[in-house]
Chain A
């Protein structure tokens, strides 16, 4: 079988890349993609540990709920992003700074 460390290392790598994507990109949609990557990393951890709990499957249940939360989050975030685009005609987060002026 696959050792659990494999899952954990892949998941850690995905989380770190997601963090880097969410911090470096300037487009709001790409930041959402980075957040999705981080959520998926957490899901992978949950599922990997869940295989040691085959009767109750608590990790898989948590992963299922996390997926639904991610879907809700992405819909609301995209609605807000569309509104921001309507108002500023731009999605570059460095230029949406009218609160600073």
Chain B
């Protein structure tokens, strides 16, 4: 049963990614990315990372994907929207498709070779004992306190920089 649910989430993830690759419509690509991110959140739950699954949904789906969709909406072509019969059909072209697919397939085959040749001694020893939230909280406040503070300042600086860059000014 768990195997079945796992493979359903895996199929959602990989299917969304494939649709993102094959579609020409930018908005459909954004929605298929939503599917992929939700599937990855499900896979996180199967790996015992409940806190990360919720963070994945909140940060990626609630933050990054919304930003990307805002980006799509703010950068559309007004003339195209006014004249076209289907104003939401924003299309994108592909280029170098053959070589990119070739390189991607070769990278994937290389990964597969590495994965199946590797001999993991840890297999079959995983233990989930309860929720991981408390351990993550303790870790953040002890071992990773410096990285935690630095990443807070980093995020603040990045957001201020983004607001400053995106500001409308007379060039």
User: Which A positions have Cβ atoms within 8 angstroms of B?
Assistant: 1-10, 12-21, 23-27, 29-30, 32-34, 36-37, 40, 43-44, 47-48, 50-52, 54-57, 60-61, 63-65, 67-76, 78-83, 85-87, 89, 91-92, 94
- A5-B116, A43-B40, A64-B52 known; A14-B59 Cβ under 8 A: no
Q: Does B86 contact A (CB under 8 A)?
A: no
Q: A51, B104: Cβ atoms under 8 Å?
A: no
Q: A50, B154: Cβ atoms under 8 Å?
A: no
Whole-angstrom CA separation of A74 from B135 in the bound complex: 29
User: Which B positions have Cβ atoms within 8 angstroms of A?
Assistant: 2-3, 6, 10, 13-14, 17-18, 20-21, 26, 29-30, 33, 36-37, 40, 43-44, 46-49, 51-52, 55-56, 59-60, 63-64, 67-68, 70-72, 74-75, 77, 92-97, 100-101, 103-105, 107-108, 111-112, 115-116, 120, 122-129, 132, 135-136, 139-140, 143-144, 147, 151, 154-155, 158-159, 161-163, 165-166, 168, 171
Q: A83, B166: Cβ atoms under 8 Å?
A: yes
- A71-B155, A75-B159 known; A23-B96 Cβ under 8 A: yes
